[in-house]
Structure 1
């Protein structure tokens, strides 16, 4: 958090986990090494569920368990943004 505002990532560990990519798995949800995802449409971070719902070649997102605090530094993550508030902005 800087100047009372949350930057996209609260710490380097969060950034490296959200931005990690795997050469073996084109879809992050198929890679067991990818742990955290960020959904910009709702500003939510979460632990990825590797449920393999989509074929490996698809880039669609799988499921995730939303988290409210960073698992590494403990920073409170930003609140969910609804589609209505995005449209009215």
Structure 2
């Protein structure tokens, strides 16, 4: 889930991070949740949907190409 105080690089990223699924309260269980943000580390990642909580860190936005914080 997204931190409301954080401005993300584009509307698409913000929209994907704010996605709320009525069927899957845990973002790692929802097949429609593809990206996650960790405010503690200021990191973005792609969720690996294999039944766990794995994430692949990303350095660029998949939608607008902006450089993300490292």
* Short-chain TM bin: 0.7 to 0.9
Coordinate RMSD, CA, aligned: 1.1
Flag structure 2 segments of 5+ consecutive residues without an equivalent: 1-5
Greater helix content: 1
Question: Which entry has the higher C-alpha Rg, 1 or 2?
Answer: 1
Q: TM-score, normalised by structure 1?
A: 0.68
User: What do the CA deviations read for 1:45-86 (whole angstroms, capped 9, x no partner)?
Assistant: 010111223xxxxxxxx121000000110000012xxxxxxx
| Number of matched pairs | 65
Question: Are 2:69 and 1:78 aligned?
Answer: yes
Q: TM-score, normalised by structure 2?
A: 0.85
